[in-house]
Amino acid sequence: SVSPQAAWCELPSRVLLVLTSQRGVQMYDADGSTMVFWHALDVPELPAAHSVFARGIAAAGGRFVCVGTSFGAVLVFDIPPKGTNVTLSEVLEQHRDPITDMAAEQGQAPDGAGDLVTADDSGTLCLWSSGEEFALLGKIPGSGCTCSSVALWNGIVAAGYGNGQIRLWEAGSGRIRAQLSAHARWIYAIDLAPLTGKLLSGAEDSFVHVWKLSRDPDTDDIEVQHCHAECVTDTQVCGARFCDPAGDTFAVTGYDLSEILCYGPA
């Protein structure tokens, strides 16, 4: 069975705590005291061998909460400013493989770049523009390697893969702009600090890396600098997140680790 996921979905009017599991999706008030909404997954016609679960959560367009599913569909929920009248507004069916992760634009999207990216087991990435009806702006085909984690910032998709590679894609054109042989094992976590363009990656190889993304103003090429490496000895890193929007501090979790490790400037 799949581990449950939890994510804060920040919307202008409210913050929801969204949980995914094998049953479906649950949404709670920010303090976790009231369940606002739940959605049980419809089990589609699939061979019995395939498990059904929800995975991948993102708040998009200041109004929607999107959740991925193991059958490749992305559920779009329309969230009212308050109350429990959440409705399933759309089901996006562009992925053919289980959704792994999704992310909303954290900075300023250039024209035509979209504000949501969704990723799946085959490494396929879809770029969307949110709204009453979501529009598919582009699809980056996978090359067989699972895209396990994804972030979107200023029209750059930062994608972490099961083979330890990080790829940076131009959201508007779908072209690859950087390839990093970042880790020796499956990447579990990718995070971005929107104020500085710092990128965080955590993987099963015990390493957490901090990178700095920027744009060359003349060529518009993406530049990547490696800033810092942290080795969490004998631990497979499962989660890594910046704790502040500038990326000065970050937190790490790992398999068999009952603590959350926090790293910051000396």
Partner 1 sequence: VMNDIISTMFNRKFMEELFKPQDLYSKKALRTVYDRLAHASIMRLNQASMDKLYDLMTMAFKYQVLLCPRPRDVLLVTFNHLDAIKDFISDSPGILNQVDETFRRLIETYNPLSDGEFQLIRQTLLIFFQDMHIRVSIFLKDKVQNSNGRFVLPISGPVPWGTEVPGLIRIFNHKGVEVKRAEFSTAGNYVTPQREGSFELYGDRVLKLGTNMYSVTRPVETHMSGSSKNLASQAKENIAPNPLAKEELNFLARLLGGLDIQKPAGDSGFRLNLFTTDEEEEHAAQTRPEELSYKVINIEATQEPARRAELSRILGELDVAEPRPGSAGKGEDLLALMDGL
Select from 6, 7, 178, 243 the one that contacts partner 1 (CB under 8 A): 178
Question: Residue 208, SS3?
Answer: strand
Sheet of 125-129, strands arranged across: 99-104, 116-120, 125-129, 135-140
Residues numbered 112-141 forming contacts with partner 1, rule: CB under 8 A: 120-122
Residue 184 beta carbon to partner 1: minimum distance, rounded to whole angstroms: 5
Residue 33 sits in the site that holds partner 1 (CB under 8 A): no
Question: Residue 2, SS3?
Answer: coil
Select from 21, 196, 236, 249 the one that contacts partner 1 (CB under 8 A): 236
Backbone φ and ψ of 6, nearest 5°: -135, 140
Cα separation, 46 vs 34, in Å, equals 34
Select from 33, 258, 259, 266 the one that contacts partner 1 (CB under 8 A): 258
Cα separation, 56 vs 116, in Å, equals 12
Residues numbered 80-99 forming contacts with partner 1, rule: CB under 8 A: 97-98
Q: Please identify, among the stretches 5-13, 85-93, 101-109, 220-228, the one whose residues bind partner 1 according to the rule CB under 8 A.
A: 220-228
Looking at beta carbons only, is 109 or 213 nearer to partner 1? 213
Select from 67, 113, 182, 252 the one that contacts partner 1 (CB under 8 A): 182
Concatenated DSSP letters of 161-180:
ETTSEEEEEETTT--EEEEE
Looking at beta carbons only, is 33 or 181 nearer to partner 1? 181
Residue 108 sits in the site that holds partner 1 (CB under 8 A): no
Concatenated DSSP letters of 32-93:
S-SEEEEEEPP--S--TTS---EEEEEEETTTEEEEEETTS-EEEEE--SSSS--EEEEEE-
Task: Using CB under 8 A, list all residues that contact partner 1.
Answer: 1-3, 43, 45, 48-51, 97-98, 100, 120-122, 144-146, 148, 162-165, 170, 173, 175-186, 205-207, 209, 219-224, 226, 229, 231, 233-236, 255-256, 258
